[in-house]
Every structure is written in C-alpha cells, then in structure tokens.
C-alpha cells in the first residue's frame, strides 16, 4: 500500500517505515531518549529543555550562547529569550555556508516569462555584503528601518540579509500593493530608505513598481533614498536625481563585511498584517526568534534538510516570503523563488517543480482549489518525482481539494504538512510531522514548543469535537515583540480576553484521536440560532459540487436567529448554478438549520495575492458596513461584483 493510500476513509496519510526512520523529528526523539511523538509534543512545552535541544540538534549558530533561556519579569506578553547571547540571522543563515561550503546552491529564481538564475551561497553573500555597504553609505545602521517593495527575486533575499548584517530592520511590503498601502507602511515604519524595482511581470501584465513607489512617497516624507533595481532598463523611467539610486551603480559585489553582533531580541523584521480596522498591525520579529522558531518548524515539521530544495508559493510581503528564505538558510538548503503568478500558464508550477527538482512544495488551499477546478494538475510529462513533502498554509481546507493535492500532485506518497500560524507568530501554532497518521484537512497537532489549546467562551478548555478559540498558554521565541509603536493594541488584540493567554483569532477543534482542525477566523464564525458553525464547512459543501469553483460563507444579522448564513459561489468555467440547489446542498451536508438564507452567484471573490479569500470584506459588503483595510486586496473588481449580487435584480 502506498504511503498516502487509505485503509479507512478517516486516514489520508500513513507514513512508511522508511519515512519515519529518516525523518529529522525521529532523530531528535532518539537523541533525547523519547519514544513517541505524543511524548515529544508534551515535553516540548518545557521551554528550558526544548529550545536548547533544538539549537543543539540543528547546530544553529550563536556567536555567544545564552545565560538564561527564558525570563518573564514583565509577564507572558513580554518574554526575554536567550538572555546574554549574541547572534545575527545573516551570520547563521548566510555567512556560515559561504564560509563552509561556498559553492552550495543558495537559491534559484524563476521569473514569469523570463530566464532563470541560480546563486551559490558565496554569490548571495557577496551581493548581501554589497547591499549592506550601499545602505551603510546612506546612513543606515542598527535599528533603522528599510522598506522592501520588491518582487520575489534574488535581490530581495540579498536585501533582507544586507539589512540584517547592519542590524537594520527589514520592512517587506506586498508587491501587489497600490500607492496608499505602500505609503501607510513606510510612514508607520518610519523608513528612511526604500528598495524597489522598476517593474516585474504577473499574469503577463507589467507591474510598474517604481511608479507606484513614487506616488507612495508623496505620503511617506521620511524616505530619503530609493534604491532601484532596474531590471528592464526601460527608457523614460521616472527618476529623481537627488533621491533615486541605480542598484547596479550602488550595489556591487561587496567585499566581505563584518556582520553586526546583536542581542537576541534585536528586531530583524517588521511585517504588517491586516486587521479588521483600517490600520495594519506591525509585527516585530527578532533575530533569535526567527532563527530558532523557523528552523524548528522547517526541520521537524516539514523535514527540511541541507539536501532539499524548497519552493513556497508566496510573496515577500507575507510571512512565508521571509520564512522560506530563513528556513533554507538556517538548514543550509536551497530556496526557489517563484516570481509572478503560479498558474500562468496553468502548468507553470509543475514545470517549476520538475525543472528545479523541488523536494518541498508549499501552497495555499485556494490555489489548489483553483487548479483542481480547472483540471490544471500535473500532466504526463511533468516529472514530480523529486517531491517528498507538500506544505500548506493560509486557510482551512475542504476535503476534495486536500485529497486532490495528496493524490494528483503527491501521488499518495507525500504527506501534506498543513501548518497554521501567522506573521505575529513567526512560525506555527499547529503543524503535523511526516511520521504521524493524518486525517483529511488535519493540522496534526500542536507545533513543537507550543502550548496551544482550544478554549470555550468562558475560558475553560474545550473537549474533543468542540469548536472554540485557538489560544496559546505560554510565550514562544518567534512571538512578535509587541506591535510596532502600539503596545496598547498588542495587549488588547492578543492578551486581553484571558489573563496570560494569547488569543489568536482562529476557531479550532480536535477530535478524539488528537487530530486538530481549523474552522476559519473566529470573527468569521456563524452562530445560527445558538449553534456555531465554521464557514469552511459550508464552503466545503458548495465546492464539493461539480459546478462550483470557490465559495465564501458569511454571517449577516437576522431579526430572529441573531445571524443568518449567506453564501457566495463562483461558478466553474461554463457552469450554470441554481441558487436553490446550492442552498439545498448546504442543508443536506450540514443540516436543515444551516440552510443558507441566500446563495449568491458571483464571478469572483475578493482575495489576497496568495489567493486567500477575504471573508471579512465579503461580510462587510453583505452587511453594508466598512470593509476596513483593503490594502492586501488583489482584485478590486470583485468588490463591485459582490455588491451587485447583494443588491440583486
């Protein structure tokens, strides 16, 4: 029986003996005298034991070892990790390999419709040294913020490392943002330098990044210099001589530069995540936190080792953009940066996997739903034999798409490591390992080192099968160091509901076998006549129908029930949908009390660049309220389409 074959409908993945034997989490367990994964998860909540064990097992480079693993003088929201140590992400993830194995491949780059490139660790380190030299010449040093409005390119990775070498704080900005969204982040971060590109191509359309940046700078007056990577050398590119610098002139192959020795809690990354209000939240991730947390997740959950090639479909403005670069560097592996749209043309992702011999591929459920709906799976000529791990994050799965990925892409031999965390987490709250059995759509269990639980509304732990708030009862190294310039919002958002407990804003549950599942954001949850249901369950019932490509379920006010369910369905190509039949299908799957009050057929749904559907925006349009922050929206035309459907004929 193949590793992914099922003897029971409840089990989607069973590891082979060979996979279990060679997994890195197995090595850790043996080194620590631990016999079962359950025992490891339980013991990993002992921070004083677990995190030093991770550093030692993965041989993570600290310039000076810590005196104390964890201190809590100001309580759980303000932990102090690895006190007394010194380190630098650039040293641990780049300089180390440039010294020890300079010709090892560090990254490959696949732009849309262009030629590919590969860089060794020596070449990437030389470019990063050049970036550090250029930024230093502009007056950037420890604690200064540098905006990075770039596509996913080698220069982007070099800029991250160049910032870290100086002790500067990198501020990655989503490459699909418009001027207002870019300006808000640059202004809030108080960035003095912006690194951008003249343009890049997505879905065959040229995105004029430099022109967007120029408009943004009118509302970000603190930016003094713009370092521009001129990729196309178009004539007539707008240029401000006193401010703009040509990358090719400012950044040469740098002479080896001394990398700054930093305290463990020195900020490395200021990454913005959208909230339900108009102002994005700036998560502050540290050098020690990113190194240890990301390396742990990559090694023990995704089984990433030095011989692997990692590709995660993402953007530098999302946490997974920096995550994949740090993960590969921490393990001495290679990262593949896929620039542009992953499904333009439809087989692009599979060709990338075959060309670069990708062994670990990360995707979003929405991307897979879209590919499955258009039958854009691997073809007979696509050699995906290099794949051994499938990663996923961003939102809950529906069973059909999950199993399509497992069988059509992984051929039943690659586990789906479905992880959940966030920008402010700096890693995962929930994550399986390759050595455990997995049910469809499962996240396995608590990520190693995470003391997570499911709470009821009254703060008591929920039992098996109960949907409740996903919480974390103890701090972890990757946790954001507050919110940028807004400590009060940090406490209010994450720590105010239950004393000493982080509330993440996700609905979760676990079953009697200990398998964990997500049910959407907690503010997306539907409460129909006192009965709770996650939107993902209604959406799964709709997308299981052959004519439905995607769906969103939201709660709207109801005078009797308190809330009613409205569903929005996107038809597959050529399909005609009947709203009554769709509502019947949801009622059949979930029970008559959960029959949607309205089902609206729309051509598209608002989504982010990573293809995550923005339910809060759909709900706001349905309710006629303010949708809040729209800066992460990729397809603004979907807003009017949803509004028109709500208005009706």
Nearest-angstrom CA–CA distance, 125 and 162: 9
| 180 within domain boundaries | no
| 87 within domain boundaries | no
What integer pLDDT is reported at residue 530 of this predicted model?
A: 59
Nearest-angstrom CA–CA distance, 323 and 344: 24
DSSP 55: H
| 635 within domain boundaries | yes
User: Which residues span the domain enclosing 540?
Assistant: 525-647
Q: Find the radius of gyration of the CA atoms of the chain.
A: 24
Confirm if 136 and 102 have CB atoms less than 8 A apart: no
What integer pLDDT is reported at residue 561 of this predicted model?
A: 72
Q: Name the pTM for this structure.
A: 0.87
Nearest-angstrom CA–CA distance, 67 and 90: 22
pLDDT at 4 over 50: no
| 583 within domain boundaries | yes
Nearest-angstrom CA–CA distance, 332 and 308: 9
Q: What is the pLDDT of residues 359-382, one digit of tens each?
A: 999 999 888 988 998 899 999 889
State the average pLDDT for the chain. 92
DSSP 411: T
pLDDT at 276 over 80: no
What integer pLDDT is reported at residue 609 of this predicted model?
A: 76
By percentage, how much of the chain surpasses pLDDT 70? 97
Mention every residue, 6+ apart, whose C-beta is less than 8 A from residue 212. 149, 177, 178, 179, 182
Q: What is the pLDDT of residues 183-241, one digit of tens each?
A: 989 999 999 999 999 999 998 999 999 999 999 999 999 999 999 999 887 778 999 99
- pLDDT band, very low/low/confident/very high, at 143 (cuts 50, 70, 90): very high
Burial 386-422 (b: 16+ CB within 10 A, else e): ebbbbbbbbbbbbebbbbbbbbbbbebbbbbbbbbbb
Q: Please tell me which residue, 380 or 528, carries the higher pLDDT value.
A: 380
Average pLDDT over residues 302-318: 96
Domain CATH number, residue 609 = 3.30.300.30
What integer pLDDT is reported at residue 7 of this predicted model?
A: 33
Does the CA dihedral 238-240-243-246 come out positive or negative?
Answer: positive
Q: What is the pLDDT of residues 541-592, one digit of tens each?
A: 899 999 999 999 998 988 767 788 999 999 999 999 999 999 999 988 877 7
Q: Please tell me which residue, 5 or 335, carries the higher pLDDT value.
A: 335
What integer pLDDT is reported at residue 361 of this predicted model?
A: 98
| 573 within domain boundaries | yes
Nearest-angstrom CA–CA distance, 365 and 392: 7
What integer pLDDT is reported at residue 10 of this predicted model?
A: 84
Which of 188-197, 353-362, 629-638 is least confident? Answer: 629-638
pLDDT at 177 over 70: yes
- pLDDT band, very low/low/confident/very high, at 531 (cuts 50, 70, 90): low
DSSP 361: E
Q: What is the pLDDT of residues 403-424, one digit of tens each?
A: 999 999 999 999 999 999 989 9
The closest of 636, 631, 611 to 314, measured between CA atoms, is 611
- pLDDT band, very low/low/confident/very high, at 180 (cuts 50, 70, 90): confident
| 503 within domain boundaries | no
What integer pLDDT is reported at residue 560 of this predicted model?
A: 67
| 571 within domain boundaries | yes
Helix axes 154-166, 319-331, angle to 10 degrees: 80
DSSP 479: S
Total number of domains constituting the chain: 1
| 432 within domain boundaries | no
What integer pLDDT is reported at residue 274 of this predicted model?
A: 67
pLDDT at 394 over 90: no
Average pLDDT over residues 436-457: 97
Q: What is the pLDDT of residues 473-527, one digit of tens each?
A: 999 999 999 999 999 999 999 999 999 999 998 999 999 999 999 987 777 777 7
């Amino acid at each position: 029986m193949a590793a992914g074959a099922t003897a029971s409908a409840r089990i989607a993945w069973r590891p082979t003996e060979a996979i279990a034997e060679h997994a890195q989490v197995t090595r850790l367990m043996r080194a620590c005298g631990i016999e079962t994964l359950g025992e490891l998860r339980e013991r990993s909540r002992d921070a004083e034991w677990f995190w030093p064990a991770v550093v030692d097992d993965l041989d993570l480079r600290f310039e000076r070892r810590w005196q104390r693993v964890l201190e809590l003088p100001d309580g759980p929201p303000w932990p102090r990790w690895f006190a007394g140590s010194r380190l630098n992400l650039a040293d641990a993830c780049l300089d180390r390999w440039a010294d020890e194995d300079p010709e090892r491949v560090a990254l490959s780059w696949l732009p849309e419709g262009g030629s590919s490139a590969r860089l060794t660790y020596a070449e990437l380190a030389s470019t990063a040294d050049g970036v550090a030299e250029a930024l230093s010449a502009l007056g950037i040093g420890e604690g200064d913020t540098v905006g990075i409005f770039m596509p996913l390119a080698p220069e982007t990775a070099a800029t991250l490392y160049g910032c870290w070498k100086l002790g500067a704080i990198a501020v990655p900005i989503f490459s699909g943002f418009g001027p207002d969204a870019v300006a808000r982040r640059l202004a809030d971060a108080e960035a003095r330098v912006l690194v951008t590109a003249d343009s890049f191509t997505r879905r065959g359309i040229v995105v004029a990044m430099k022109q967007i940046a120029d408009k943004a700078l009118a509302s970000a007056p603190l930016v003094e210099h713009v370092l521009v990577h001129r990729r196309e050398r178009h004539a007539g590119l707008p240029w401000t001589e006193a401010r703009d610098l040509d990358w090719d002139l400012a950044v040469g192959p740098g002479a080896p530069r001394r990398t700054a020795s930093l305290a463990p809690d020195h900020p490395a990354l200021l990454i913005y995540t959208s909230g339900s209000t108009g102002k994005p939240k700036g998560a502050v991730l540290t050098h020690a936190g990113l190194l240890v947390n990301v390396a742990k997740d990559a090694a023990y959950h995704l089984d990433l080792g030095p011989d692997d090639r990692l590709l995660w479909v993402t953007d530098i403005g999302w946490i997974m953009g920096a995550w994949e670069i740090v993960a590969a560097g921490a393990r001495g592996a290679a990262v593949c940066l896929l620039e542009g749209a992953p499904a333009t043309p439809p087989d692009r992702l599979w060709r990338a996997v075959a060309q670069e011999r990708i062994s670990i591929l990360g995707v979003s459920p929405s991307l897979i739903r879209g590919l499955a709906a258009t039958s854009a799976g691997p073809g007979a000529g696509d050699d995906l034999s290099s794949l051994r791990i499938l990663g996923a994050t961003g939102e809950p799965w529906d069973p059909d798409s999950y199993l399509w990925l497992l069988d059509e892409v992984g051929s039943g031999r690659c586990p789906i490591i479905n992880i959940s965390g966030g920008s402010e987490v700096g890693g995962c709250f929930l994550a399986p390992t390759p050595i455990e059995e997995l049910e469809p759509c499962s996240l396995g269990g608590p990520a190693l080192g995470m003391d997570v639980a499911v709470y009821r509304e009254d703060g008591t732990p929920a039992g098996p099968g109960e949907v409740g708030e996903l919480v974390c009862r103890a701090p972890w190294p990757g946790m954001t160091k507050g919110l940028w310039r807004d400590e009060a919002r940090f406490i209010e958002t994450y720590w105010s509901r239950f004393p000493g407990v982080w509330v993440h804003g996700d609905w979760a549950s676990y079953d009697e076998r200990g398998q964990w599942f997500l049910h959407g954001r907690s503010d997306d949850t539907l409460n129909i006549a006192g009965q709770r249901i996650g939107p993902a369950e209604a959406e799964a019932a709709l997308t299981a129908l052959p004519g439905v490509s995607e769906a969103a379920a939201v709660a709207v006010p109801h005078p009797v029930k308190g809330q009613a369910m409205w569903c929005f369905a996107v038809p597959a190509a050529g399909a005609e949908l009947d709203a009554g039949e769709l509502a019947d299908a949801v009622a059949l799957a979930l029970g008559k009390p959960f029959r949607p009050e309205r089902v609206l057929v729309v051509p598209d749904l608002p989504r982010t660049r990573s293809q995550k559907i923005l339910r809060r925006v759909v709900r706001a349009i349905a309710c006629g309220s303010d949708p809040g922050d729209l800066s992460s929206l990729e397809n603004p035309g979907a807003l009017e389409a949803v509004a028109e459907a709500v208005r009706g004929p």
